[in-house]
Structure 1
Amino acid sequence: MARRSEAIDTLQQRLQALEPVIQNICKVAGTPGISFAVSHNGQPIHRTSFGFGDLETKKPITGSTQFPIGTMAKTFTASAVGALVAEGRLKWDTPIKSIIPELQSTSVTVTENLTIVDLLSHRSGLGRSNLWWQGSDATLLLEKKDLLPYYNSLPLTGQFRADWGYSNWGYALAGEVIERVSGKTYAQYLEEKVYMPLGLNNTTVEPVNPSDALDLARPYAALDDASLYPMPQPPVNGSTIMAPALGGVSSADDLMAYSIALLQAFRCEAGLQTNNSSLAIKHGMQQLSGHIFTTKGLLEKSYAFGWYRTQLPNTVLGMGWNSIYVKRMPKIIPRTHVGPLIAHGGSLPGYHVSIALLPEINSSVVVCTNSIALGDVSGWVSMALLEALVDTPEPSDYLALATEAAGNAALNVKKFEEKLEATRKAGTATRSREEYIGRYRDEKRGWILDVRARDTAPSGLEVAFQGLDSQAWALSHYEHDTFSWLASREEQAKRGRMVTYPLVVDHFKLHFQMSDGESGKIDRLLWKHEAGAPVELQYFMKEG
C-alpha cells in the first residue's frame, strides 16, 4: 500500500511539474483560459485551471466553467444509444430504415443495410458535406428540418462498411434515431439517461444564453500574433441540425466524472474489475471498442463510437490537427505496457476540448480551452499529461512543438496562397463582371450561391453562401473563369471559420462555365466542395 502511495505521489509531481509548461503553451498559441484534470485508478488525482473565461471581466477559469464541447458531443450521443439498447428499445443491428422510413440515400445498399453501428463508427461510405451546414459568424446554414432531405442527398464517396469517413451527418441521423425510439427530444433523453445519473450539473445540450449563464467561458480566436479576438457564441444546441455531432456544453469537472464512468463501464464489461454498483453507462465495451480501421499500419488505429483508438507506442489520432503544423508529431511511448489509448477532441469557433482514456490502467485526461488558437492547445496539453501518466522515459518538448505549430499556423494561409499562385495560369482574362453576377442553385437541394457586385473586392465580385450577407466573401480572379474566395487567416479567424483544419484547394475555387463553349453565356458554376463525389453532382445552375 505504501509503495502504491509513493507511485501516486511521484505521478502527481510529474503532473505538477508540467504546469509552467502548460501556461507557456497557452501563451505562445493564444489561449486565454484552460482547465484540465487527470484521473488514476478511478479517482481524480490532479485538477488545475489557469487564465480567464472572460478577458473583459477577468473572470477566472475554474473546474466548473462551461465550455461548448464540439465534436466531443459524439461520445454522449453514443452513450445515449447504449442506454436505448440496454432498455431493449433498439438493437445494434436494427436497420435505420425500419425506424426512419423516409431514409432514401443515394445508395440502395446503404439505405437497406445502414445500422446505428455504421453511423456511430463513420462507415456509411457517404460524403461529409460539412460546407452545406457550417457557416461563419456563428451561423448555421441549415435547420433541423433539413436533416433527412440533405442526408438522403449525400453522395457515395467510399465503400459501405469498408471505408472510414468522418461524418457529422451520421451522428445527426443517430440523434434522430434517439428521438424517434425514445419519444423524447435529444436533449431530454440525454438529460435523463446520461447527465442526471452521472451528476453532470454543468452539462447540457439545451440552448445556453451567454448573458444568463453563470459560468460560461467566452470564445476567442488567436490572431497571427497570438493576440485574442472575441467571438460570437456558437449556436449548436439540441434544437439545431448538428447537435448530436457537436452540440452541448460541459466543464472539466463534469467531463472528468464522465470519463471515470466510461472507464468503469468498459473495465467491468471487460472483466478488469468487479462491479460494486449499478453502472450509469451501458454497453461501455461496445462504445469504446474499435469498429473500423482509420489507417493501416503495424500498430492499430481504429474508430469506436465517438472515439479514436491508438495502440501505443504511437502517434495519436483524434486530438486536433497539430500534425499539419509541425514536421513530426511525437510518439507517446509508455515505460511499460498500458493498453490502448482511446481519445477524441472537440472544436468549435472559439473552443478546443479533449478527453483521453487509458482503460487498462484506469486513467483519463480532460482538457478544456476557450480559443481557436495557433494550433490545438488541448491536443498538446493532453499529450503532455498522457506522457506523465504513462511515465514516458524521454518526454517530448511540448512547448517547443507548440511554438513550432504556432509559427506555422500563423503562416498557414499565406503558404496556401503561394501554393495556389504556383499553379495559376498567369495572364488570363475575365469577362465583364455582369456576366458572372446572379443566383446559382443546386437543383437537387435548393442550396444557393449568390454572386454579387462588390466594388471593394479584388475582382469587383463577392459570393454569398445561401444568399446571406453574413456569409459573403470577396472574390479574387484566379484564372480564366475561375475565382477564389480565400481570405486571410485573420479574417477567417475573426469571422469564425475553423482555421485549424487542413485547407483544401477546391473548397475555395468557383469555376464559372457555359453550355455553348466560349461564345455562350455563363449558365452554371462548379464548386468542388465534396472530395470523392462525381463532378456532375457539384454544379450550381444559374437562375433566369
Structure 2
Amino acid sequence: MKQYSFITLFCLTLIASAQPDTQVLDEYLSKARKDWEVPGMAVAIVKDGEIVLAKGYGTKALTSKEPVNGETLFAIASNTKAFIASSLAKLVAEGKIKWTDRVIDYLPYFELYDSYTTTHTTIEDLLSHRVGLGTFSGDLMWYKSELTAEEVIKKVRYVPQAYDFRAGYGYSNLMFITAGEVIKKVTGKEWSDYVKESFFKPLGMSRTITSTDDLSDNYAMPHKPMQEKQEVIDWVNWDNMGAAGGIISSANDMAQWMILNLNRGVINEDTLIDPSAHNILWTPHNNHVVSLSAQDNLIGRHFSGYGLGWGLSDYDGNLMVTHGGGYDGMYSYQMLIPDQKLGVMVLTNTMKGLSSAVALWVVDRFLENPDRDYSSERLKASKENASQADAIDERLAERNKKVGPTLGKREYVGTYESGMHGQVTITLRDDGTYNMNFADAPKLSATLTHWHYNIWQINWDETHAWFDFGTVQFLLDNNLKVSGLQFDVPNHDIFFDEVNLRKID
C-alpha cells in the first residue's frame, strides 16, 4: 500500500510538472494583446476540472483606465449556440422531445423556401446549419430591427435557397433563433430563462446575462476597428436573435461552462446534461472538406465538421471542439480538447482575429508541441489580406462626379418594399438630400447624398460595427420610372445585396 501511494504521488507530480508555466502563458497573452492592439481581453484556461488561469488584460475601453479582470463581461455572441443545443439535449434526455422531431410540429408558422424542406426540417437540422440557407443569409432581417424572434422566423420563407436540403453547409443564425422558440414552446419559458435555470444557476455563473438591458457593472465596451484607429461604440441589443448569440459572460463564468462540457455534462457529480445526449452534440452532423493548407499547418488534421452547436475537428490525435462568436465590436473564441480535459476561452472587446490564434498557442503548450507563434503569423497575414477597405477604395476610384441623376428629385421619393425587409421610405429634405428609413429597423436610417448617375451614397445616422460606406441605386423600368432599390454595402456579415425592394408608392 505504501509503495502504491508513492507511485501515485510520483505520477501526479510528473503530470503537474508537465503543465506549462502560468507565467509563460501570461506573458504571451499579454504581448499578443498589445501586438494586435486589442484594448481589452479576458482569458480562461481550464485543465482536469480546475481553473489554471482566469484573468483580464488591458482595459475595458480605450477611453478608460479601468482594467479588465476575470469578472468583466463581454459578449460571447455565437458561443451562445452551444447553450441552446445543450438545452435541447437536456429536453431530449428528459423525453420531452426527440432530435428527429419536425420543427413545424412545434412552430406551425415555420416556413422555408419550399414545402418539402419546411415539412422535413428537424430539430437536428436547425442546430447543424444544413437546411439549405447560405451563411449569414437573412441576418439583416433581425439586425437592429424591432421585430420579435417570432416575427423574424415568419419572414424566413423569403430567404433564398443556397444549396440542396442537407447537402451543404450554411451558417444560419436564423435557425438558432428558431431553436430558441422551440425551447419556449416545449417548456413554456423563454430560452433565456430556461438556460439560466438549467446552467447558469447550477454552475454558479452569477455574472452571466442574456441581454444588454441587464448590463450594470464591470463590463467591457465594444470597439470598431477603423483604418487608422479604433472607435468605442455602444452595445447593441440582440434580444430578438438572442438564442443565436445573445449571452454576455466573463472568463470566470465561462471556465465553469468549459469544465461542465469537458466532463460530458456532469459537474460535481451533478448531471446537467445526460452524457449520452451530450455525446450527440459532439457527433459530426455536417462535414467540411479539410483544405490542403489546414492539413499542412494544423498538426494531424484529418476531419472538420459541425455537430450541434459546436465545431468539430481533430488536432494532434485529439478531438478538438471549437466555436467563435462575433458581436458588434467584440469577438470570442472557445477551444476544447476533451481527451486532455483542456479548455481555453478568449474574450476581446474589438473585432480583430486574435482569439483563435492565442487559444491554439495555449493548447500547444499543454500538448508539448513545438512553440509556434500563431499570433504573429496571423497578425502578419491579416495585414496582407485584401480588406473591406480595399473594396471601398475600388468603389471610390470608379466614381464619376460629373454625371448627375437622370430624373427630377421628387421622382425618387416613395415607399419601397420586400418580403424579407419590409418597407423602406425615401423622403426629400429641404437641403436636397434624402432621408432613408427602414420601418422594421429605424436604427438603420440614413441620409442619402448624390454619388453618380442614379446612385446615392448612404450616410448612416449612427455608427455600425460591421459596415460603413455604402451606396443605393434607384432602379428604372423601361419607361424610365423608378421601380426599385438596390444596395451595395461592402462587408462580410450583413448582406445588403439581398435587399431587393420594389417601389409600391
Question: TM-score w.r.t. structure 1 length?
Answer: 0.78
How many angstroms does 1:539 deviate by?
3.0
**1:28, 1:403 within 8 Å by CA — same for their partners in 2?**
no
2:12 counterpart of 1:12: no
Task: Name the counterpart of 1:386.
Answer: 363
Write out per-residue CA displacement over residues 207-228 of structure 1, whole angstroms, 9 at most, x where no aligned residue.
Answer: 5444xx23222223344334x4
Secondary structure at the aligned position of 1:91 is classed as coil
**1:425, 1:479 within 8 Å by CA — same for their partners in 2?**
yes
Task: Identify which range, 417-426 or 296-305, moves more after superposition.
Answer: 417-426
Pair 234,408 (structure 1): closer, same or farther in 2 beyond 3 Å: farther
Secondary structure at the aligned position of 2:234 is classed as coil
Write out per-residue CA displacement over residues 24-75 of structure 1, whole angstroms, 9 at most, x where no aligned residue.
Answer: 3322433222111212223222333222225555332221222121111111
**1:21, 1:399 within 8 Å by CA — same for their partners in 2?**
no
Write out per-residue CA displacement over residues 351-409 of structure 1, whole angstroms, 9 at most, x where no aligned residue.
Answer: 2211111112221101112223xx2232232222222232222413513532552x458
Write out per-residue CA displacement over residues 47-104 of structure 1, whole angstroms, 9 at most, x where no aligned residue.
Answer: 3322222555533222122212111111111111111111111000011111112223
Secondary structure at the aligned position of 2:219 is classed as coil
CA RMSD in angstroms comes to 3.4
2:341 counterpart of 1:362: yes
**1:440, 1:450 within 8 Å by CA — same for their partners in 2?**
yes
Q: What is the rounded CA distance, in whole Å, between the counterparts of 2:114 and 2:488 in structure 1?
A: 21
Q: What is the rounded CA distance, in whole Å, between the counterparts of 2:440 and 2:110 in structure 1?
A: 28
Pair 292,478 (structure 1): closer, same or farther in 2 beyond 3 Å: farther
Q: What is the rounded CA distance, in whole Å, between the counterparts of 2:107 and 2:254 in structure 1?
A: 32
2:498 counterpart of 1:521: no
How many angstroms does 1:454 deviate by?
6.8
Secondary structure at the aligned position of 2:263 is classed as helix
Secondary structure at the aligned position of 1:364 is classed as strand
**1:438, 1:451 within 8 Å by CA — same for their partners in 2?**
yes
Task: Name the counterpart of 1:327.
Answer: none
Pair 222,380 (structure 1): closer, same or farther in 2 beyond 3 Å: same
**1:37, 1:256 within 8 Å by CA — same for their partners in 2?**
yes
Task: Identify which range, 248-257 or 201-210, moves more after superposition.
Answer: 201-210
**1:289, 1:304 within 8 Å by CA — same for their partners in 2?**
yes
Task: Name the counterpart of 1:166.
Answer: 171
Q: What is the rounded CA distance, in whole Å, between the counterparts of 1:526 and 1:39 in structure 2?
A: 49
Q: What is the rounded CA distance, in whole Å, between the counterparts of 1:433 and 1:498 in structure 2?
A: 33
2:103 counterpart of 1:96: yes
Q: What is the rounded CA distance, in whole Å, between the counterparts of 1:480 and 1:389 in structure 2?
A: 60
Task: Name the counterpart of 1:414.
Answer: 389
Secondary structure at the aligned position of 2:70 is classed as coil
Q: What is the rounded CA distance, in whole Å, between the counterparts of 1:34 and 1:303 in structure 2?
A: 27
Task: Name the counterpart of 1:311.
Answer: 314
**2:258, 2:336 within 8 Å by CA — same for their partners in 1?**
yes
Secondary structure at the aligned position of 2:464 is classed as coil
Structure 1 residue identity aligned to 2:358: V
Write out per-residue CA displacement over residues 220-244 of structure 1, whole angstroms, 9 at most, x where no aligned residue.
Answer: 3344334x432212212xxx32010
Structure 1 residue identity aligned to 2:331: H
Q: What is the rounded CA distance, in whole Å, between the counterparts of 1:163 and 1:423 in structure 2?
A: 36
2:138 counterpart of 1:129: yes
Q: Any unmatched runs of 5+ in structure 2?
A: 1-8, 296-301
2:39 counterpart of 1:32: yes
Structure 2 residue identity aligned to 1:369: T
**2:46, 2:53 within 8 Å by CA — same for their partners in 1?**
yes
2:332 counterpart of 1:353: yes
Q: What is the rounded CA distance, in whole Å, between the counterparts of 1:218 and 1:537 in structure 2?
A: 30
Q: What is the rounded CA distance, in whole Å, between the counterparts of 1:34 and 1:4 in structure 2?
A: 32
Write out per-residue CA displacement over residues 324-370 of structure 1, whole angstroms, 9 at most, x where no aligned residue.
Answer: xxxxxxxxxx4xx3x12111111211322111111122211011122
**2:424, 2:439 within 8 Å by CA — same for their partners in 1?**
yes
For 1:457-536, what aligned pairs fall within 5 Å after superposition? Answer: 460-461=433-434, 463-466=436-439, 470-473=443-446, 475=448, 480-483=453-456, 485=458, 495-498=463-466, 508=470, 510-515=472-477, 517=478, 519-527=479-487
Pair 292,469 (structure 1): closer, same or farther in 2 beyond 3 Å: closer
Write out per-residue CA displacement over residues 394-436 of structure 1, whole angstroms, 9 at most, x where no aligned residue.
Answer: 413513532552x458x83331124446777997653246156
Q: What is the rounded CA distance, in whole Å, between the counterparts of 1:133 and 1:377 in structure 2?
A: 27
For 1:62-211, what aligned pairs fall within 5 Å after superposition? Answer: 62-127=69-134, 128-134=137-143, 139-206=144-211, 208-210=213-215
How many angstroms does 1:447 deviate by?
1.2
Pair 463,389 (structure 1): closer, same or farther in 2 beyond 3 Å: farther
2:217 counterpart of 1:214: yes
2:257 counterpart of 1:258: yes
Secondary structure at the aligned position of 1:380 is classed as helix
For 1:395-474, what aligned pairs fall within 5 Å after superposition? Answer: 395-402=372-379, 404-405=381-382, 407=383, 412-420=387-395, 430-432=405-407, 434=409, 437-445=412-420, 447-453=422-428, 460-461=433-434, 463-466=436-439, 470-473=443-446
Task: Name the counterpart of 2:243.
Answer: 244
Q: What is the rounded CA distance, in whole Å, between the counterparts of 2:463 and 2:497 in structure 1?
A: 31
Task: Name the counterpart of 1:331.
Answer: none
Q: What is the rounded CA distance, in whole Å, between the counterparts of 1:280 and 1:183 in structure 2?
A: 19
Q: What is the rounded CA distance, in whole Å, between the counterparts of 1:196 and 1:468 in structure 2?
A: 34
Task: Name the counterpart of 1:319.
Answer: none
How many angstroms does 1:476 deviate by?
6.6
Task: Name the counterpart of 1:293.
Answer: 287
Structure 2 residue identity aligned to 1:218: M
Q: What is the rounded CA distance, in whole Å, between the counterparts of 1:74 and 1:95 in structure 2?
A: 20
2:269 counterpart of 1:277: yes
2:503 counterpart of 1:542: yes
Question: TM-score w.r.t. structure 2 length?
Answer: 0.84
Structure 2 residue identity aligned to 1:471: L
**1:430, 1:480 within 8 Å by CA — same for their partners in 2?**
yes
Equivalenced residues, count: 480
Pair 148,221 (structure 1): closer, same or farther in 2 beyond 3 Å: closer
How many angstroms does 1:170 deviate by?
0.1
**Identity across aligned pairs (percent)?**
22
Write out per-residue CA displacement over residues 463-513 of structure 1, whole angstroms, 9 at most, x where no aligned residue.
Answer: 44448664234557666544554x7xxx99x813226xxx9xxx9553422
Pair 417,147 (structure 1): closer, same or farther in 2 beyond 3 Å: closer
Pair 185,141 (structure 1): closer, same or farther in 2 beyond 3 Å: closer
Structure 2 residue identity aligned to 1:389: F
Secondary structure at the aligned position of 1:265 is classed as coil
Write out per-residue CA displacement over residues 240-298 of structure 1, whole angstroms, 9 at most, x where no aligned residue.
Answer: 320100112111111111111111117x8xxxxxx982322232111122110133557
Which of 367, 371, 381 does residue 350 from structure 2 map onto? 371
Pair 467,305 (structure 1): closer, same or farther in 2 beyond 3 Å: closer
Q: What is the rounded CA distance, in whole Å, between the counterparts of 1:436 and 1:3 in structure 2?
A: 81
Pair 471,360 (structure 1): closer, same or farther in 2 beyond 3 Å: same
